[in-house]
Each structure stands twice: as C-alpha cells, then as structure tokens.
C-alpha cells in the first residue's frame, strides 16, 4: 500500500463502529537508571481516538516512556493518566483490568516461539478465557486475513516466517482482542521500504477499524507521516515539540526539522560517549 | 585506607546477601503462584513431560552404571576385610539414600536447568516476557510456576526409576561377575531396605527438582543483554543448582538420619 493509498484509507474509510474514550496523559514523568536520567519530566497529552507518533533518536527515552505507560517499568516521579485515571495510584487489579484494554506491537515482534501462529494471535483471548481453543483458530484466521495473511499461516511456527510476516502476525496479535489503546514500538524497523509501507497501511486501517487511540514510537519519518495525526519529539528525556504530523520537517523547531530531514549539522549533536 | 579495605570486603558480602534475598523473594512469589489460580495445566503437562519423560534415558543410564560400578568397587574394597557379603547392602542403601537422588539431580540440572535458563533468558532479551504482561498474563504464573511445580513432581518419579535401575546394576554385576546367588542377593537387598531409605531419597528428589527449576527460571528471568547474557544465565543456573543440590543433600540427610 503506498503512502497516498494509506492516507486515503485513513480519510475515506467509514467511521468505526466504536470510538474509545481512553486518552493518555503524562505529567512530569521521570525515570533514572542509576545515575543516568532517561526521562526528565515528560509531559504528553494524547487525546482519545488520536494517532500520536513520538519521534526521537536512539537512546532518547522513547521506549522507556512506552514501557512506563504500559506498566512494564515504574517511573520514579510523575503522573500517568489513562482515561482520566492515575494508573500509578490504581490498585493492581484495577490497573490490570485497564491494561486488558490495551495492545502492543513490539519492535521485534516478540512472538512466542513455542506456540503456533494462531495461538500467538489469540493468546490474550485465550488467556482471558473469552474464547475456546476451537473458536480461537477461526478468530485467528479472521484476524490474519485482516493483515493480509492466509489462514494456513496460522499453523506455522513464528520461526518459519519472514520478518515482514512476523511483523504482520505481531500486529494481528496486538489488535485481535480489539484494544482501545494500541502501542507500536518501531513498527517498520528492519523492513524493506515496501513492506514498511504495507505495515503502515495495516496499522492505519486497524486503528481506524478499532476506533482506538494509538501511540507509535519511531525514528522513521516516512512512517511517522503515514501513521500519525499528531506528533511529538522527545530529546534527552523531554518532549521538546508537539504538533501536527503533517507539518514534520516544516515545524519551525530547529531540532525537529533537523531530525525530520536527517541533517548532520544542527542543534542536535551526536554524543558518541555519555 | 582501612575504610577502603572494609568497603572492598563488604561489597561482595552485601552483593551476596542481596542476591540471596532476591532469590528468596523469587521463590516465594513462585510458590504463591503455584498455589493460586489461574492454573496453566497445559503448560504444567508440557514441562512435566519434558522433565520426567525426556530426562529418563540419561537418568536411567547414569543410575544403571552407577549401581554396576558401586558393586564392583565395594566388592574389591570389602574383599580386604572379608566383608564381600555386604555388597548388596551397600549398593541398595547408597543408591536409594544418596547416589540416586544426587546423580539424577545433577544430570537433570545440566539438562533441564540449562534449558529453562536459556529459554527464559531468550524470552527476556527478545521482549517475549514483556509481551506476556501486555497480553494480560502474569509471566511468573505462566512461565515460572508450571516449570517449578513440574520439576518438583517429576524428580521423585525419576529417582524412583533411578533407584530400581541402580539396584539392578548392582544385581547384574553381583550375580554375573562376582558370583553371588541371585535369590540370596535379592533377599539381602530386600531385608536391608527400609521405607525411610526410599522416602528420604524421594524427599531429596523433590527438593532438588524445586531447586533446579527455581535456579533455571531465576537465572533466565533476570538475564540481561543479548546472547552473552543468556549464556551467563545458563552457566549460572547449572552451577548454582549443582552447588545447592550438594548443600541441601547434607541438610536433608541431617534431618532424616541425624541421631
């Protein structure tokens, strides 16, 4: 799917059956590992039903921020609100219930090697006992079709798939339980440009069909423009800019524009050693 | 100068205490997940078969040859004191009380402990453990609890087989090579064997199974970095499990047989 096609899908597609009311808000989130500060007071507001792309260089804190939102890492300070509730102050059971409404596509897919593809895709539905094993096979075939894979792929093991197919299966797994917030960690990393465009198109379609809020982190500018409505840039653990994803490269912010154009000279300098 | 010396001395001690504390907390969490639902029966069965069935050949061969060597060595040793008739006693007591559980434990530590550490370590460094959390599944409950329970249940069965085959190894050498009368050898074996001998071995086996799986899961679960981290986790799992097996062997023996 080309960039134009993908954007067209985003605007011309029918309205989703539902629209989530869950947004994400980070206020002053800090996280350090030993003496190294990774998040230095991150403030970010992602409105419900918005696709937000967070840009940033390697080591800027993007992944740590995502893991803090998902509850995989506890921040040292700050507030993380999902649907208006401070998740850091919630009881574990309530937090787990909220996390059930989220999906995540990991950078390398993170598919379970010991399970066939169909079980990977329906893992969450099976874990929550929302579906029988027999029904899960049918559901997996349905979701695999959504990401352009044949039902027969369901019987393969993840090791038998190419990188692009693994990414599609991981996307299928992320959306199979129909989450209200979906996170994408470097969705096109390691893929050729065509497969990257295909994955971007699928992400746009899936998020639209789900009526979900999406947060993607990437340093692929083409992908960012395709999948994002809003964009933010994180640098040295702080959000330094937020705005319309379509304006990336012409934001007027010297750091963002340097990053968007991939220019060597500019306010962002590569620190070879910290 | 003196403060620096004390600091250098104290750092590894504090590190060791921290590691022991982390391991203890990990063990308690694993036990709590074993006891509380939801239970993953499919996972439990998979790991039980992995430990009990696929470890059977290596444990069986180890036990058989150990029994054979034990009969031969004790015969030649006891011949110096004209005590050859004690061979059957020594073989059955050594195998059931010590050699069966300890050797089976060491073999399973090498096979299963390493495999668990490598599998969980790879899952950790490829984000599969984080993925479980995002898929509404507690990794401790799904990955660790079934492995620990499976190894704890499977090891006594393996040791029971090891006991039988170890005794059979001694019997074969005793009757074929050393000239014992089969019926007499079997009668001596049966007469000397007490329930406590077998039970103590099976209790040891359960303890060793728990330790092997715990160390495999702990090392793998906490591994960091890439392939090197997984390699270190695997080595650490086998070494620590082997040391703990020998140490706990003494503790359980003391508990059962101390006068």
Kindly state the helix (H) or strand (E) to which residue A244 belongs, with its residue range: strand A238-244
Neighbours of A46 (CB within 10 A): 23
B131 and A67 within 8 Å at the Cβ level: the answer is no
Listed as own residue / partner, the contacts of A59-63 with beta carbons closer than 8 Å and 24 or more positions apart are A60/A234, A60/A235, A60/A236, A60/A237, A61/A31, A61/A234, A61/A236, A61/A237, A62/A217, A62/A234, A63/A107, A63/A185, A63/A217
Q: Above 80 in pLDDT, residue A77?
A: yes
Q: How confident is the model at residue A16 (pLDDT cuts 50, 70, 90)?
A: low
Question: Does some domain include residue B30?
Answer: no
pLDDT computed for residue B146 by the predictor: 96
CATH superfamily ID and name for A1-14+27-101+179-274:
P-loop containing nucleotide triphosphate hydrolases (3.40.50.300)
CA distance B206 to chain A (A): 27
Q: How confident is the model at residue A17 (pLDDT cuts 50, 70, 90)?
A: low
Q: How confident is the model at residue A208 (pLDDT cuts 50, 70, 90)?
A: confident
For B70-95, how does the pLDDT look when each residue is reduced to its tens digit (9 = 90+)? 999 999 998 888 888 899 999 999 99
Judging contacts by C-beta atoms under 8 Å, the chain B residues touching residue A70 are: 130, 133-134
Question: Does some domain include residue B160?
Answer: yes
B134 and A99 within 8 Å at the Cβ level: the answer is yes
Neighbours of A219 (CB within 10 A): 17
Distance CA A85, CA A21 (A): 12
Q: What total of structural domains would you count in chain B?
A: 1
> B59: domain range?
55-251
Three-state secondary-structure class, residue A35: coil
Q: Are B200 and B257 in contact (CB under 8 A)?
A: yes
Q: How many angstroms separate the Cα of B125 from the Cα of each of A68, A167, B77, B223, B227?
A: 18, 18, 53, 8, 8
**Residue of B119, B131, B136 with shortest CB distance to A100:** B136
pLDDT computed for residue A220 by the predictor: 86
Question: Does some domain include residue B142?
Answer: yes
Q: How confident is the model at residue B18 (pLDDT cuts 50, 70, 90)?
A: very high
Kindly state the helix (H) or strand (E) to which residue A232 belongs, with its residue range: strand A230-235
pLDDT computed for residue A271 by the predictor: 57
DSSP of A145-190, one letter per residue?
HHTT--GGGGGS-GGGS-HHHHHHHHHHHHHHT--SEEEEESTTTT
Of A116, A97, A56, the residue nearest A240 (C-alpha): A56
pLDDT computed for residue A57 by the predictor: 84
A112 and B128 within 8 Å at the Cβ level: the answer is yes
Rounded to the nearest integer, the mean pLDDT of chain A is 86
Q: Are A56 and A241 in contact (CB under 8 A)?
A: no
CA distance B7 to chain A (A): 20
Judging contacts by C-beta atoms under 8 Å, the chain B residues touching residue A99 are: 133-134, 136
A110 and B136 within 8 Å at the Cβ level: the answer is no
A102 and B131 within 8 Å at the Cβ level: the answer is no
CA distance B99 to chain A (A): 34
**What are the structural domain ranges in chain A?**
1-14+27-101+179-274, 108-178
Q: Above 70 in pLDDT, residue A11?
A: no
Average pLDDT over residues B10-17: 91
Q: What percentage of residues in chain B have a pLDDT greater than 90?
A: 87
Q: Above 90 in pLDDT, residue A20?
A: no
Q: Is A185 left (phi over 0), alpha (psi -120 to 50) or beta?
A: beta
Q: How confident is the model at residue B219 (pLDDT cuts 50, 70, 90)?
A: very high
From chain A, which residues contact B within 8 Å (Cβ)?
67, 70-72, 96, 99-100, 102-104, 106-108, 110-114, 123-124, 127-128, 173
Distance CA B64, CA B164 (A): 9
Three-state secondary-structure class, residue A255: helix
pLDDT computed for residue A158 by the predictor: 95
B32 touches chain A (CB under 8 A): no
Q: How many angstroms separate the Cα of A234 from the Cα of each of A57, A184, A214, A237, A266?
A: 8, 16, 17, 6, 16
Average pLDDT over residues B142-171: 96
Question: Does some domain include residue B4?
Answer: no
pLDDT computed for residue B60 by the predictor: 96
Q: Is A178 left (phi over 0), alpha (psi -120 to 50) or beta?
A: left
Q: Above 60 in pLDDT, residue A93?
A: yes
Q: How confident is the model at residue A51 (pLDDT cuts 50, 70, 90)?
A: very high
Of A93, A114, A75, A58, the residue nearest A272 (C-alpha): A58
Number of H helices, E strands in chain B: 12, 0
Q: Which residue has the higher pLDDT, B69 or A203?
A: B69
Q: Is A271 left (phi over 0), alpha (psi -120 to 50) or beta?
A: beta
B135 and A107 within 8 Å at the Cβ level: the answer is no
Kindly state the helix (H) or strand (E) to which residue A215 belongs, with its residue range: strand A213-218
Contacts of A113 (CB under 8 A, 6+ apart): A157, A158, A159, B122, B128
Strands A51-55 and A77-82: what pairing?
Answer: unpaired
Distance CA B19, CA B17 (A): 5
Strands A85-86 and A77-82: what pairing?
Answer: antiparallel
Residue B10 class from Cβ within 10 Å (0-12 exposed, 13-18 middle, 19+ buried)?
exposed
Q: Above 80 in pLDDT, residue A121?
A: yes
Q: Please, what sign has the CA dihedral across residues A69, A71, A73, A78?
A: positive
Kindly state the helix (H) or strand (E) to which residue A55 belongs, with its residue range: strand A51-55
Question: Does some domain include residue B169?
Answer: yes
CA distance A254 to chain B (A): 34
A113 and B135 within 8 Å at the Cβ level: the answer is no
Strand partners, A79: A27
Q: What is the rounded (10 degree) CA torsion for B95, B215, B56, B230?
A: -140
Average pLDDT over residues A39-45: 93
Average pLDDT over residues A95-113: 91
pLDDT computed for residue A189 by the predictor: 83
Q: Are A55 and A259 in contact (CB under 8 A)?
A: yes
pLDDT computed for residue A3 by the predictor: 39
Neighbours of A156 (CB within 10 A): 15
B136 and A104 within 8 Å at the Cβ level: the answer is no
Kindly state the helix (H) or strand (E) to which residue A134 belongs, with its residue range: helix A133-146
Distance CA B243, CA B259 (A): 25
**Residue of A71, A102, A110 with shortest CB distance to B127:** A110
ipTM summary value: 0.85
Q: Please, what sign has the CA dihedral across residues B19, B23, B25, B29?
A: positive
């Amino acid at each position: 799917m080309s960039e134009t096609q993908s954007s067209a899908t985003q605007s011309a597609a029918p309205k989703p059956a539902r629209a989530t009311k869950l947004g994400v808000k980070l206020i002053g989130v800090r996280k350090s590992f030993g003496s190294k500060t990774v998040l230095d007071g991150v403030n970010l507001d992602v409105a419900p039903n918005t696709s937000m792309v967070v840009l940033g260089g390697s080591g800027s804190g993007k992944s740590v921020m995502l893991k803090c939102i998902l509850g995989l890492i506890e921040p040292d300070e700050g507030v993380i609100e999902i649907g208006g509730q401070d998740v850091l102050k919630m009881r574990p059971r309530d937090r787990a219930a909220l996390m059930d409404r989220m999906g995540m596509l990991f950078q390398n897919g993170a598919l379970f090697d010991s399970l066939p593809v169909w079980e990977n895709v329906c893992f969450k539905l099976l874990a929550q006992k929302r579906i029988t094993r027999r029904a899960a096979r049918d559901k997996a075939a349905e979701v695999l079709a959504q990401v352009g894979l044949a039902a027969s792929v369901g019987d393969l093991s993840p090791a038998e798939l190419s990188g692009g197919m693994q990414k599609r299966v991981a996307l299928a797994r992320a959306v199979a339980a129909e989450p209200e917030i979906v996170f994408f960690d470097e969705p096109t990393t390691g893929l050729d440009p065509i497969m990257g465009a295909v994955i971007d198109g699928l992400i746009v379609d899936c998020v639209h069909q789900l009526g979900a809020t999406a947060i993607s982190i990437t340093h692929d500018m083409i992908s960012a423009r395709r999948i994002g409505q809003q964009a933010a840039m994180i640098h040295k653990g702080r959000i330094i800019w937020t705005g319309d994803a379509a304006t990336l490269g012409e934001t007027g912010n010297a750091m963002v524009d340097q990053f968007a154009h991939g220019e060597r000279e500019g306010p962002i300098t590569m620190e070879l050693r910290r | 100068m003196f403060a620096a010396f004390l600091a250098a001395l104290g750092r590894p001690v504090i590190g060791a205490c921290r590691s022991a504390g982390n391991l203890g907390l990990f063990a308690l969490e694993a036990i709590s997940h074993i006891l509380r639902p939801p239970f993953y029966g499919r996972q439990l069965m998979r790991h039980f078969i992995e430990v009990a069935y696929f470890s059977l050949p290596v444990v069986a061969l180890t036990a058989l040859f150990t029994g054979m060597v034990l009969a031969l060595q004790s015969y030649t040793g006891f011949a110096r004191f004209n005590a050859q008739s004690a061979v059957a006693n020594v073989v059955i007591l050594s195998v059931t009380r010590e050699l069966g559980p300890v050797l089976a434990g060491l073999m399973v530590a090498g096979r299963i402990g390493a495999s668990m550490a490598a599998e969980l370590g790879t899952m950790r460094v490829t984000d599969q453990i984080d993925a479980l959390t995002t898929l509404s599944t507690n990794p401790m409950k799904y990955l660790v609890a079934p492995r620990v329970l499976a190894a704890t249940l499977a090891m006594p069965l393996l040791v029971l087989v090891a006991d039988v085959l170890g005794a059979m190894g001694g019997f074969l050498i005793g009757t074929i090579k050393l000239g014992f009368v089969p019926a007499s050898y079997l009668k001596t074996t049966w007469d000397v064997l007490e329930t406590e001998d077998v039970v103590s071995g099976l209790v040891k086996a359960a303890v060793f199974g728990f330790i092997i799986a715990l160390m495999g899961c702990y090392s793998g679960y906490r591994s960091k970095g890439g392939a090197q981290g997984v390699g270190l986790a695997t080595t650490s799992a086998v070494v620590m499990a082997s040391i703990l097996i020998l140490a706990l062997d003494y503790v359980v023996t003391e508990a059962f047989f101390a006068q």
